[in-house]
Structures are given as structure tokens and as C-alpha cells.
């Protein structure tokens, strides 16, 4: 097998034994400084070689004037220098025996036709030498398990106040550097990351390469992607059909309008295809399509924290009758069915209500709260519906209110979740106090119940899981 087509050729991007930062800087805030600082702060165990002809030392590390003076060839080189110097530096990387290169420099195919020609030159050089290139215009990779990060922002200040990345099971592939700067802090505590790859202009390593790599990666259980284009549609869809048998693939495909396609070309130099073609192809391959980043993480959160539902029959437990109506509408629009509760299930629920109340599906618990209190109302109804053979999942909706002073509301559901490991519980916490909401959301997350702020977000995620499970049944 050609070494460039082997997924092992991508390993140096995530767990290199050594890395050279070409364009290392002694000035805090500059990319060549931040890259080294991040590696040191995260505790990367490999060797770090700063390359700067005008510095003897960078952040206590010996600096080298060029690659020729480094005692042994680094596995990975990170290039952070002006565009005019990149081709010459790439030649030096090849001569030194570097296995993989991340070009974080911008100013190539996304800006001009001459820049695009330079990208083709880079690709030819990589193919002739048998090395791999990520970029240009990339912010590289992150691998929490190896304490490895090549991004140029300062994790301890700009992105993650605590300067750490939570290890998890979601692998992200994208054409945007915004992930490390904007989205990572938002999801770091809620989901956890296995690996991140920001591809930039994709002169060499593309979304299919990374999809194949993540498909084979034991730490990655869920694959999330942001794509503006697909270089090789046939290969990408073929890989997706195979990989979804083991792990879900969730994709945002942007550049869906003519204006978006033009913006994509100026961003990464890519050409975007017709959206309806992508939509049909994704459905046929079993890819879950998210409409924006919020939905991407909503779906990923569900796959991380909840089991696959055995079917699409949903029991809704809501704080008010009007909320029951809107939740039903949202479920039906997304292809879910409202579960019919059996007479025995209704009999189990009845004791928390006044004698005159008739239990129905969906379950309006407000009267039960007035009669029996919050804890009895929610735990009794949730447990009862999950015991029902006609229920595949439960959506539990409540307000962000201090219902139980001194007690954690999410903790009430820990035992229920443990007793029904094959049926997902989806929490929705609406309205009320923001601080209480954040506390409740963290609490549900700690017991692996995904928590959302709206019916639409929760139902979209649950419906995606149902469709994925149905697909698995078909493909075996």
C-alpha cells in the first residue's frame, strides 16, 4: 500500500514523537510562541524544536536556525511563516525527513489563482516525497490523550480559561479555525473531544482521509464534521457507508447558496457543489445532517450521553399542558411517535394525582406536583413510562427553578437511568434562572442524561438517534 494512502500516515498529526515549530517566536501572543506554550502547558511528552534563525531560545527551549541543525528529524513540522517562504521551507522539511507538515500560514488558494497554483505545487512535492500536508490555512490538530495541540491561540487565556482540554469520544473534522477559538470552550465541558483536525484549504489531507482515520480510531465513537466542500464524493460516501456501521457521522454542509459558495471559495479556495445533491447523497449514505453548529453539538451530545433508542415511540413528561402540545407537534414533525401508555402504566402514575385526574399521554405533571410534590411527580411518572414496553424513550421537561432546596434535581433521575440502560432519557430545562439552569445541565450531564433548552433541539437529537438506529438495522 502506498504510504500516503495508509491511515498510519496521518498518525504524526496527532501523536508525533517530536515536533518542530518553524516560525517560533519569543513574543507572547504570536502564533509561533502560542503553539509552543500550548504544548508545554498541556504537558506534551514529545520533543519540541523551535526553529528561528534569530533566537537562541524560545520559552526555555533551545532554538535552531533551521531544520538541518536539529539533532534528529522531527516527525511533524508546524509552519508559521510568511507565504513567500513556505515552498522553500517545505523543501527543507522533505530533505530533513519530516513525515508530516501542518501549514498554518494563510494566503494561498483562498486568495488568488497564483496561490492555488502554489497549493498544487505543494501537493506534487508531498506526493513525490511520500509525506502528508495539512493545510495551508489550517490551525492543525488537537489530541487530548497525547496532550497535543498545534493551534496558535493561547488556550490558557483566549480559549480555555483553565488551559485544558477534556478528553472524550467526539472526533471533529472541519474547514474552520473557529472550532478551537469559539466552539471548543462551549462544548469542552459538556461533550469531551477525542481528536480535532482543522483542514484549511485541503491541498493534500482532506475530509475523506480524516473520516477514514477517525473511523479506525478506537478513542473516537462519534464523528462530527463541518464541510464547505467534498474533494472526492465517491470515496467520502463509500467510507461513510462503512463507518456508520460502527459510529455515527454528523455533518454540517455549508455553502448551500450561491452566495455561500462564493464565500467558501474566498475562505478555503474550495468549490461547493449543489446542496440538494449533497442532501440526497448524505441520506443514502446514512450521514446525519445538522443545519448549524448548535444542532451538530446537540446531536453529538445525545450520542455521547444516551443509549440508542430501540424504537421511535416517545413518552413526554411536561410541566404544563401547553408544553405538552408543542412537544407533541415537534416530535411528529421529526418523525417520532407519541407513545400510548398501557392501562397498567397509567395505574402506576395515578397515585401522585388527585382522584379526579385522568392520566394521559403526553403526561402533564403540574397537577401531580401540586398534589404530591416535584420529586414524587417526576420520579413516579418517569419510572412508570420507562417500564412500559410501548415506550422507547422519555423526554422530561421542567423549569430551571429551585424545586428542591438543598437537593439536586438531576440526582433524582440517576437511579432511574441506571435501571433502564437501554432507553434514553432526554431532559429539557426551560425558563427560570440561568444559574440554576447551568447547575441542572451540569448535573444531568454528570449522570449521562443529555439536557437541552428547547423542544426543537432535544427532539432533533433524539430523532437523529432513532434514524441512525433504524439504519443500523437495515445495513446489519
pLDDT in tens, the chain (476 residues): 345 667 899 999 999 999 999 999 999 989 999 999 999 999 999 999 999 999 999 999 999 999 999 999 999 999 999 999 999 999 999 999 999 999 999 888 777 888 889 999 999 999 999 999 999 999 899 999 999 999 887 665 545 545 577 899 999 998 866 555 556 666 777 788 999 999 999 999 999 999 999 999 999 999 999 998 899 999 999 999 999 999 999 999 985 555 444 444 444 444 345 788 898 999 999 999 998 888 999 999 999 999 999 999 999 999 988 889 999 999 999 999 999 999 999 999 999 999 999 999 999 999 999 999 999 999 999 999 999 999 999 999 999 998 998 789 999 999 999 999 999 999 999 878 889 998 999 999 999 999 999 999 999 999 999 999 999 998 86
Torsion of CA 412, 416, 421, 427, to 10 degrees: -50
Please tell me what DSSP assigns to residue 52: -
Q: What's the whole-model pTM score?
A: 0.92
pLDDT of residue 161: 45
pLDDT of residue 271: 39
Please tell me what DSSP assigns to residue 68: G
Provide the grid cell at 158: 483566549
Provide the grid cell at 295: 444542532
CA gap 136, 464 in Å, rounded: 34
Instruction: With CA atoms as reference, report the closest residue to 139 among 182, 89, 102, 189.
Output: 102
Maximal C-alpha separation, the chain: 86
pLDDT of residue 285: 94
In DSSP terms, which residues pair with 141 in a beta bridge?
Answer: 197
Provide the grid cell at 125: 512535492
Domains of the chain: 3-303 (3.40.50.261), 307-475 (3.40.50.261)
Peptide bond into 301 cis (omega under 30): no
Element (DSSP H or E) covering residue 408: none
pLDDT of residue 312: 98
Amino acid at each position: 500500500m502506498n504510504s500516503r494512502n495508509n491511515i498510519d500516515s496521518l498518525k504524526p498529526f496527532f501523536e508525533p514523537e517530536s515536533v518542530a515549530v518553524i516560525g517560533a517566536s519569543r513574543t507572547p501572543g504570536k502564533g509561533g510562541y502560542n503553539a509552543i506554550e500550548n504544548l508545554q502547558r498541556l504537558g506534551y511528552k514529545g520533543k519540541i524544536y523551535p526553529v528561528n534563525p534569530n533566537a537562541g531560545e524560545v520559552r526555555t527551549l533551545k532554538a535552531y536556525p533551521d531544520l538541518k541543525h536539529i539533532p534528529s528529524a522531527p516527525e511533524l513540522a508546524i509552519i508559521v511563516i510568511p507565504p513567500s517562504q513556505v515552498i522553500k521551507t517545505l523543501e527543507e522539511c522533505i530533505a530533513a525527513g519530516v513525515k508530516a507538515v501542518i501549514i498554518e500560514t494563510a494566503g494561498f488558494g483562498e486568495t488568488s489563482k497564483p496561490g492555488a497554483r502554489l497549493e498544487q505545487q505543494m501537493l506534487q512535492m508531498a506526493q513525490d516525497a511520500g509525506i502528508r500536508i495539512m493545510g495551508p490555512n489550517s490551525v492543525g490538530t488537537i489530541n487530548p490523550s497525547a496532550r497535543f495541540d498545534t493551534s496558535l491561540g493561547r488556550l490558557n487565556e483566549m480559549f480555555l480559561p483553565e488551559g485544558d482540554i477534556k478528553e472524550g469520544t467526539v472526533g471533529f473534522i472541519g474547514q474552520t479555525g473557529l472550532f478551537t477559538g469559539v466552539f471548543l470552550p462551549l462544548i469542552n465541558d459538556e461533550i469531551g473531544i477525542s481528536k480535532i483536525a482543522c483542514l484549511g484549504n485541503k491541498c493534500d489531507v482532506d475530509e475523506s482521509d480524516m473520516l477514514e482515520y477517525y473511523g479506525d480510531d478506537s478513542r473516537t465513537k462519534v464523528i462530527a464534521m463541518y464541510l464547505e466542500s467534498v474533494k472526492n464524493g465517491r470515496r467520502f460516501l463509500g467510507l461513510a457507508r462503512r463507518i456508520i456501521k460502527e459510529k455515527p457521522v454528523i455533518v454540517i454542509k455549508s455553502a448551500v447558496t450561491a452566495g455561500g459558495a462564493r464565500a467558501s471559495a474566498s475562505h478555503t479556495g474550495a468549490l461547493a457543489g449543489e446542496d440538494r445533491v449533497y442532501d440526497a447523497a448524505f441520506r443514502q449514505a446514512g450521514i446525519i445532517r445538522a443545519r448549524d453548529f448548535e444542532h451538530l453539538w446537540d446531536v453529538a451530545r445525545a450520542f455521547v450521553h444516551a443509549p440508542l433508542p430501540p424504537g421511535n415511540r416517545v413518552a413526554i413528561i411536561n410541566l404544563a399542558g401547553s408544553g405538552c402540545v408543542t412537544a407533541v407537534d415537534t416530535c411528529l414533525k421529526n418523525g417520532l411517535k407519541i407513545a400510548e401508555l398501557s392501562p397498567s402504566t397509567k395505574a402506576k402514575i395515578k397515585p401522585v394525582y388527585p382522584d379526579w385526574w385522568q392520566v394521559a399521554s403526553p403526561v402533564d405533571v403540574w397537577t401531580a406536583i401540586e398534589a404530591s410534590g416535584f420529586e414524587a411527580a417526576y420520579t413516579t411518572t418517569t419510572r412508570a413510562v420507562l417500564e412500559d414496553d410501548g415506550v422507547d424513550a422519555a423526554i422530561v421537561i421542567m423549569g430551571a427553578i429551585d424545586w428542591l432546596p438543598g437537593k439536586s434535581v438531576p440526582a433524582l433521575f440517576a437511579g432511574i437511568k441506571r435501571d433502564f440502560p437501554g432507553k434514553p432519557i432526554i431532559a429539557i430545562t426551560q425558563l427560570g434562572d440561568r444559574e440554576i439552569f447551568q447547575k441542572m445541565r451540569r448535573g444531568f450531564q454528570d449522570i449521562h442524561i443529555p439536557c437541552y433548552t428547547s423542544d426543537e433541539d432535544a427532539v432533533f437529537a433524539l430523532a437523529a438517534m432513532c434514524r441512525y438506529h433504524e439504519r443500523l438495522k437495515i445495513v446489519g
